A and B are shown apart, each in its own frame.
Chain A
Amino acid sequence: DTGVSQDPRHKITKRGQNVTFRCDPISEHNRLYWYRQTLGQGPEFLTYFQNEAQLEKSRLLSDRFSAERPKGSFSTLEIQRTEQGDSAMYLCASSSMTSGSSYNEQFFGPGTRLTVL
């Protein structure tokens, strides 16, 4: 399967615990995005990487959230001291950057569903 993959698919944790999610983008894609989606809402942008550089972060990304993409391939999203309001689907997407085109469509992974008890 050459699509975007995410691990784990489901995570249940207790309030106050730390959690880490992983995203493996499509191999030739150099742009990687994290979104959060709650019930009845569209995905909300969290952060974006171009290669290993984190170029943009949403105001939604509090200081309890941190994302990395150390080698410009896979990415991790860590949430520290989880709160019940963090319960959501965390989606990862990737896209390519080709010459002559400033934007290409984003391909989404299956998501990690987080439940904070």
Chain B
Amino acid sequence: EDKVVQSPLSLVVHEGDTVTLNCSYEVTNFRSLLWYKQEKKAPTFLFMLTSSGIEKKSGRLSSILDKKELFSILNITATQTGDSAIYLCAVIPPYSGAGSYQLTFGKGTKLSVIP
């Protein structure tokens, strides 16, 4: 069964710190890996990574995928209290017909940023 493992499960940092969140997966030939941010509501989309070694950036957030080593990292620089949330990693399985579009999520990393 496909498996997505995130680490650490929780993390407490001070404002201004830089954090790195990890996502490893056991899905062969997956199509894409996605990162979501979840506060007290629905997950909101951050990044979709399809190609290995290409960094995606959005403001203070960036992410990169290593398909050979089967992991991805999400970096957040100069953290703010508003970054406090659960960060979810998900993969899309290989295409195998009409379905195959569901996301397989990890358990998430709970990030707490304290002033």
Contacts and interface: CB of A to CB of B under 8 A. Distances in A.
Interface residues of B, number: 26
B62 to A, nearest CB: 17
Interface string A53-76: 101101000000000000000000
Contacts, number: 61
B31 A91 contact: no
A53 B98 CA distance: 10
B45 A105 contact: yes
5 shortest interchain CB distances as A-B pairs = A42-B105, A56-B99, A45-B102, A108-B42, A55-B98
Nearest to A97: B101
A105 B106 CA distance: 17
Interface of A: 4, 31, 33, 35, 40-45, 48, 50, 53, 55-56, 58, 91, 95, 102-103, 105-111
Interface stretch (B11-19, B66-74, B76-84, B88-96): B88-96
Nearest to B47: A105
A43 B31 contact: no
Given A43-B103, A45-B103, 17 more contacts: A33-B101, A35-B103, A42-B4, A42-B108, A43-B88, A45-B102, A50-B98, A53-B98, A56-B99, A91-B42, A102-B31, A103-B31, A103-B101, A106-B45, A107-B45, A108-B43, A108-B44
Given A91-B42, A105-B34, A43 B99 contact: no
B32 A103 contact: yes
A106 B98 CA distance: 17
Interface string B1-36: 000100000000000000000000000000110101
Most B CB atoms within 10 A — which of A40, A42, A91, A110?
Answer: A42
